[in-house]
Amino acid sequence: MTYEQGLELLKSFPKKPGDDWDRHCILVGEIAFRLARALGAYMPIDAGKVRLMGLVHDFGRSVSHCPYRHSYEGHKLLMKLGEAELARICTCHSNGTYKPQDLEEYGLKPEDFYVRTMEEKLIFISDNLECHGDIVRQEVRLSETIARYEKRNPEFVPVLKSKLEEFKAFDKEIRDISSRSVYEILGI
Ligand SMILES: [Fe+2]
């Protein structure tokens, strides 16, 4: 799938009034692309692929906005299209976010839900920084997300809080490679 094909697919999904998850997909791709370009000076990384991974990571939101199910559905959708590598980013982008009882129905394994490569970590990071069209620091994005989930899925709030430490660990990896934090690279 090319980036342009991914964008066409995103545009083809039905949207409800007020939906901005399509813009979120595009911006996560753009943030991840900027980070990948910065890291590209220090390590081999395919920034174009990272941009596409960011674009598709939430395609499952065309089926469900459930914090768990959207990742399973995104995986299913991209597997149907023969895009196994892109399917993986749908399940792993929230790093460790799944319910064991759901795995069998979707034919997924626990390891499908953990980021492994720097490319995948960049999508996790970028997803944590995009907030309704802006690039913000993780704590700002997280407090907005927590406020949203406190009403809808309160059981998901501890999962969200665990993302603070994971973000810090990945940011440290990036600092060790490039001598700059994610915030310094993005100028926020
Ligand atoms: Fe996302």
> Distance, CA 70 to ligand 1 centroid (Å)?
10
> Distance, CA 37 to ligand 1 centroid (Å)?
20
Closest listed residue to residue 133, CA positions, set 35, 24, 25, 58: 24
> Distance, CA 57 to ligand 1 centroid (Å)?
6
Between the alpha carbon of residue 55 and those of residues 10, 24, 124, the distances in Å are 8, 8, 12
Question: Measured in whole angstroms, how far is the alpha carbon of residue 165 from the centre of its chain?
Answer: 16
> Distance, CA 135 to ligand 1 centroid (Å)?
13
Structure tokens at 73: 């559905």
Q: Is the four-CA dihedral 76, 80, 83, 84 of positive or negative sign? A: positive
* Residue-level pLDDT, tens digit, the chain, 188 residues: 999 999 999 999 999 999 999 999 999 999 999 999 999 999 999 999 999 999 999 999 999 999 999 999 999 999 999 999 999 999 999 999 999 999 999 999 999 999 999 999 999 999 999 999 999 999 999 998 899 889 888 988 998 999 999 999 999 999 999 999 999 999 99
CB 116 within 8 A of CB 92: yes
Structure tokens at 147: 């406020």
Count Cα atoms within 13 angstroms, Cβ side, for 73. 13
Between the alpha carbon of residue 163 and those of residues 61, 126, 158, the distances in Å are 20, 12, 9
Structural domain boundaries in the chain:
3-186
Q: 69: how many CB neighbours lie within 10 A of its CB?
A: 16
Q: What is the pLDDT of residue 183?
A: 98
* Tokens 């406190």 found at: 150
Alpha helices in 81-156 (DSSP H): 84-92, 103-106, 118-127, 138-152
Structure tokens at 44: 């081999």
Q: What is the pLDDT of residue 152?
A: 86
Angle between helices 118-127 and 84-92 (to 10 degrees): 50
> Distance, CA 73 to ligand 1 centroid (Å)?
13
> Distance, CA 15 to ligand 1 centroid (Å)?
16
CB 52 within 8 A of CB 86: yes
Structure tokens at 51: 């941009």
Distance (Å, whole) CA 13 – CA 48? 23
Q: Given CATH 1.10.287, say whether it is the number of domain 3-186.
A: no
Q: What is the pLDDT of residue 156?
A: 86
Number of H helices, E strands in the chain: 10, 2
